[in-house]
Amino acid sequence: MEQFTLNLIVVGLTFALYVGIAFWARAGSTSEFYAAGRGVHPVLNGMATGADWMSAASFISMAGIIAFGGYDTSAYLMGWTGGYVLLAMLLAPYLRKFGKFTVPEFIGDRFYSQTARLIAVICLIVASVTYVIGQMKGVGVAFSGFLNMSYEMGLLVGAIIVAVYAVLGGMKGITYTQVAQYVVLIIAYTIPAIFISLTITGNPIPALGLFSNTAAEGVPLLDKLDTVIQDLGFASYTAQTDTTLNIFLFTLSLMIGTAGLPHVIVRFFTVPRVADARSSAGWALVFIALLYLTAPAVGAMARLNFVDTMWPNGPQEDAIAIEEMPNWVQNWERTGLLAFEDKNGDGRIEYWADEEKNEAVKVDRDIMVLANPEIAGLPSWVIALVVAGGLAAALSTAAGLLMAISSAVSHDLIKSMINPAISEKNELMAARISMLVAIAAATWLGLNPPGFAAQTVALAFGIAGASLFPAILMGIFSKRMNSQGAIAGMLAGLLTTVIYIFLHKGWFFIPDTNSFTDADPLLLSIKSTSFGAVGAMINFAVGYFVSNATQQPPEEVQELVESIRVPKGAGAAQAH
Amino acid sequence: MSDKQSSNAYWRANIRTIWICIAIWAFVSYGCAILFRPLLSGISVGGTDLGFWFAQQGSIITFVILIFAYAWRMNKLDREHGVEE
């Protein structure tokens, strides 16, 4: 059977499964649409959170970025897992006790201010839309590879499918669908990794294979990789090349962003008890760690296999001849994400670090995971499985984010500020329209994304970490924090971070409108993806000084803070 | 002991637990994997050094253990202070 037909069958089957589950558990009332009626077991909730969390950035993009970035990119691994520790200890249990539906609702009530709530809605929308742009890049790569079309066409097809998918089901559909998606994506990620690890190191567990000897030469895998890529002029894989300051701030940005992203926090509103919010975070991280411990192995082995493909007999011998290029190369060349140029006209493609003589002129990092099973020559059903897994990852997160955006618009903005008398039917309609608008905007910006999928998503984390995380944290841990402090802090964190990002990535991510680049950033060595940590510090500082210079929060708000600190008396969420 | 005093004591115990967990959390990630990596470069792990292992796997494993340890400790505190649901 042809690869394409097989891809179609496997992707079709998994989709039928998700849509079936979504219909089976179709959302009825608005309360179910937002928070799934709160009856979800911590292990299942953890699994669904895992699927919700692991997006195109984790599944499709991250290992490719690690493959070409080595040690420096460890920030992604630590950042996107370490945030769960913060979530479990600093936010989730108290927000569950608070017992409302959305993050802006908490901010509005805790800071007794509709203005604070409005600003939280804005922060949420800016962070989530940026996040969806990253997902769209991943969706575009996956569909273009799978349907053999250009990246732009793949993006368009993907956007339509995301739209249909997200508008159809509410959170309830999504919770159970996401459990299924988690299972599909973890199998799809692990199986090729096991095959590849077995071939290269003889160890069936990729996470252990990474630190094992190669089967062929009997030298440590990482040693071999270091030697091979240094021969081509690249920096050593295991050595640090970025500055310590930037790696530190980048890791911190991703961690606080994890804890500040509304679509993840919302998950913890759906567990039955406060204690379950803590253990749910633990279970979520267990399921996430299964992929995150495998990812660095996938990255290192993919890099090695890629070099082997380009230099079949090693860099001392001839490079690969154009007519001997394997199938996967031709497939990905068609998408425009992989490009070669035979500069010296010898009929061979030479892969070097040196820009002058490198002939593999474009290797989009985001294709590595999807192309990996083909590069390693794995059976075609494995390739089909990876395509299905990548789509599951991208769709589940895009849907979760679009839920967060639509509930912020319909519930926090329209229902509580603009038109409180809105009917339930119109509220649902507003939710769906805001989803479609968000998808359209993200798709348009996804045509020229500000970076690879995981880098774009990292920007979203910086924005969430700089704006929402400090406000929620201070709302719980400081009784003194008042509305003026929170509002000034959120605005300062959001604006400094967004402006810093726009200065480096272009205004509103429009290409060529940037004044600086991440290679030569404005402040010290702080790249735009790392600035979220600085923005958060600014937020904390501004919040602290402004609140101390203004009135104490009212008595009843201080009592509210007291009450969310203890689990006792947490009921079901209050409907409005 | 009044409810108020009991919940204050509960909150202080919670904060103490959080600080301990945060210290471990920062030590493995920002410490071992980033700042102290040069100091740990003498300890080799499968073709590279301990800092690299912490950066790519060790931190993640520690994070998982930390959350469950925190959840377990808090469940105990909830009961001791009579604030469980």
Give the angle B5-B10-B14 at the CA atoms, nearest 5°.
Answer: 150
Ranges A56-65, A291-300, A512-521, most confident: A291-300
Distance from CA of B12 to the nearest CA of A (A): 11
* Residue to substitute from B63, B75, B78, interface A, most A β-carbons within 10 A: B63
Name the packing angle between helices A327-335 and A114-147 (round to 10°): 130
Query: Rounded mean pLDDT of A521-544?
Result: 92
* pLDDT surpassing 90 at residue A52: no
For chain B, the domains span 3-80
State the pLDDT at residue B1. Answer: 46
Please enumerate in sequence order all residues whose Cβ is within 8 A of that of A451, keeping only pairs 6 or more positions apart, or say none.
Answer: A458, A459, A505, A529
Q: Do A238 and B57 touch (CB under 8 A)?
A: no
* pLDDT surpassing 50 at residue A171: no
Report the Cα–Cα distance between both ends of chain A, in Å, rounded: 55
Closest CA to A293 of B28, B72, B63: B63
State the pLDDT at residue A1. Answer: 63
Query: Rounded mean pLDDT of A454-472?
Result: 92
Mean pLDDT of chain A: 85
Closest CA to A32 of A22, A47, A46: A22
**What pTM, to 2 d.p., does this model score?**
0.90
Region A8-308+376-564: CATH code: 1.20.1730.10
**Chain B residues touching chain A at CB-CB below 8 Å:** 7, 10-11, 14, 18, 21-22, 25, 29-30, 33-35, 37, 45-49, 52-53, 55-57, 59-61, 63-64, 66-68, 70-71, 74-75, 78, 82-85
Query: Rounded mean pLDDT of A515-526?
Result: 84
pLDDT one-digit tens code per residue, B35-70 = 998 888 888 888 888 999 999 999 999 999 999 999
Higher pLDDT, A420 or B17: B17
pLDDT one-digit tens code per residue, A226-260 = 888 888 888 889 889 899 999 999 999 999 999 88
> In which residue are the tokens 């979203």 written?
A460
Distance from CA of A232 to the nearest CA of B (A): 20
Query: Rounded mean pLDDT of A473-489?
Result: 93
Query: Rounded mean pLDDT of A463-483?
Result: 93
Sheet strands (E) in A95-246: none
Buried/exposed A124-136: b ≥16 CB within 10 Å, e otherwise = bbbbbbbbbbbbb
Query: In the beta sheet, which residues pair with residue A320?
Result: A349
What is the C-alpha separation between A294 and A250, in angstroms, rounded? 21
Confidence of residue A570 (pLDDT cuts 50, 70, 90): low
Q: Residue A565: its chain B contacts at CB < 8 A?
A: 7, 10-11, 14
pLDDT one-digit tens code per residue, A358-391 = 888 888 888 888 888 888 788 888 888 888 888 8
Query: In the beta sheet, which residues pair with residue A417?
Result: none
Q: Do A279 and B37 touch (CB under 8 A)?
A: no
> In which residue are the tokens 């009784």 written?
A479
Q: What is the dihedral of CA A157, A163, A169, A171, to 10 degrees?
A: 110
What is the C-alpha separation between A556 and A2, in angstroms, rounded? 67
What is the C-alpha separation between A69 and A238, in angstroms, rounded? 9
Distance from CA of A139 to the nearest CA of B (A): 26
What is the C-alpha separation between A459 and A518, in angstroms, rounded? 12
Q: Do B46 and A567 touch (CB under 8 A)?
A: no
Distance from CA of B85 to the nearest CA of A (A): 5
Q: Residue A77: its chain B contacts at CB < 8 A?
A: 55-56, 59-60
Confidence of residue B84 (pLDDT cuts 50, 70, 90): confident
Task: Please tell me whether residue A320 adopts helix, strand or coil conformation.
Answer: strand
